[in-house]
């Protein structure tokens, strides 16, 4: 009888402990689900892309240094302007999504393609016919841009493919979630831009020698 009583006590403890563990995991899953829903409810303007891209721009200005200060000024100009136009265009589309102005995945994809085309157009032309840049500075940017795009164009093509993949994916249940994932992609691309700049530097030898950019001789 005593052994039966002990066995019953042990079984009760096991069952009670198991139930407690199950209850704990259920509680944790509910908590995580609530946190996920809360995150989804955040406006896209609070997506990490915007803060982190600001940090990248700040780091470009303060920590991106080269021995040749003329080259440094050129690359800072290109990288800063490209990330800046990312922010401007993506901020606008994020506002539209937060207002539920993009109704389905097709519209989201088409709008993002329009945005990406505007970004590329700006990237290639922001300095042309711009009174802030002398003719010589425009020539310098033309030279560097051609080499920069040899590396960067692959990233842009890949970004286009990934945006299409996200918009067509059945795993992202709402357009807002898809838009948030696309912002993640742009954040990754912003980081890759720095690598593209480094590769471009390695392919520029005497191409810019003697030119003046922002009053600095290259």
Contact 96, 102 (CB under 8 A): yes
pLDDT digit string, tens, across residues 111-170? 999 999 999 999 999 999 899 999 999 999 999 999 888 888 888 899 999 999 999 999
Q: Where are the alpha helices (DSSP H) in the chain?
A: 2-41, 48-63, 69-98, 105-125, 135-168, 175-202
DSSP annotation of 46: G
pLDDT (0 to 100) of residue 22? 46
d(CA 10, CA 107): 61
pLDDT digit string, tens, across residues 28-87? 544 444 444 444 578 998 999 999 999 999 988 888 888 889 999 999 999 999 999 999
Give the residue extent of every domain in the chain.
1-41, 43-217
Angle between helix 48-63 and helix 175-202 axes, rounded to 10 deg: 20
């Amino acid at each position: 009888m005593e052994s039966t009583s002990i066995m019953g006590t042990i079984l009760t403890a096991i069952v009670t402990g198991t139930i407690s563990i199950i209850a704990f995991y259920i509680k944790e899953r509910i908590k995580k689900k609530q946190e996920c829903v809360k995150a989804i409810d955040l406006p896209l303007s609070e997506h990490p892309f915007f803060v982190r891209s600001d940090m990248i721009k700040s780091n470009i200005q303060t920590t991106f240094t080269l021995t040749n200060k003329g080259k440094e000024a050129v690359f800072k100009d290109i990288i800063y302007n490209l990330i800046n136009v990312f922010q401007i265009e993506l901020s606008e589309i994020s506002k539209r999504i937060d207002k539920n102005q993009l109704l389905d995945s097709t519209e989201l994809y088409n709008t993002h393609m329009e945005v990406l085309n505007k970004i590329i157009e700006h990237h290639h032309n922001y300095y042309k016919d711009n009174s802030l840049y002398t003719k010589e500075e425009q020539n310098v940017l033309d030279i560097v841009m051609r080499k920069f795009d040899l590396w960067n164009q692959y990233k842009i093509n890949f970004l286009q493919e990934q945006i299409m993949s996200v918009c067509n994916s059945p795993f992202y249940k709402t357009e807002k979630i898809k838009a948030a994932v696309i912002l993640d992609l742009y954040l990754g691309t912003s980081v890759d831009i720095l690598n593209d700049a480094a590769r471009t530097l390695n392919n520029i030898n005497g191409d810019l020698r003697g030119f003046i950019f922002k009053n600095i001789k290259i």
